[in-house]
Structure 1
Amino acid sequence: MEDTNILKKIQARKFYLKKITADKIEKDPIDKTTKIKQEVKCSILENTKENLSLKVNTKTFVDPEALFSIELEYIMHFKLKEEITDEEVENNINELISFLGQEISYVIASITKKMIGVHVILPPGLEIDELDK
């Protein structure tokens, strides 16, 4: 039930990386097959007639635990053309943060190259696991 017109209600957007925690785990994977997982949590910081602010936290790690764990926190600000309700934000959250996926993939690839010697490149899409109001 996504409303693709939500992006038409946005006049401008900007984001910045607020916090990063990267841990190299001195443990090799037990199996040849491991999964790189990503957890994404989002919070509405402000939602007024003119502005919408979101906090997006991601945790990227190897399961079972090995090699690395990277946590990123981004703040996103939207200047609105018209008001967006909390319900509209909730129903369209993946659309609102979709462009952030490319940025996160780039940051993760750069960090993992320095930590473990290879670029870990993630798909640019983000799927929200949790949304707080």
Structure 2
Amino acid sequence: MTALAYFLGRLETLLDRNQVAYEAYLSKNRIFLYAEILKNSSDSISFLLLDNMHLLPAVHRINAMKLLHHLDVWGGIWESTYAEIKPGIYDEFSFENIVNFPSKEVADLRRFYRILQGRLHIKNKICIRFK
């Protein structure tokens, strides 16, 4: 497995984790418990992107940068709101974000990972077949 495939696989996993947490957050009255899970996962995505974004082709670096920008802004607002209201675990915790989640760009990153997986899968099958 290449470093790029490993990075994108981890990114895919964290994006899936974020989606599950966000859906729970919305369905459970926006309580802090799920907002905190979302924050922890988003922080992990940010660190992963900062450490590995250089592995991406230019077009996907732009997509990743848009995701990182969203997470930076969202995280800053999250931190400010948290410091202001200091919510309990079951308290409602919500705020407006001025930078929307880059859905198209994230979908492009996910698509790129699937394409890369297909190529790696085919390459591995060929290598195994001819050994």
Shared topology, TM-score over 0.5? no
Q: Tell me the TM-score normalized by structure 2.
A: 0.28
TM-score by length of 1: 0.27
Q: 1 or 2, which has the higher strand percentage?
A: 1
More helix by share: 2
Which is greater in Rg? 2
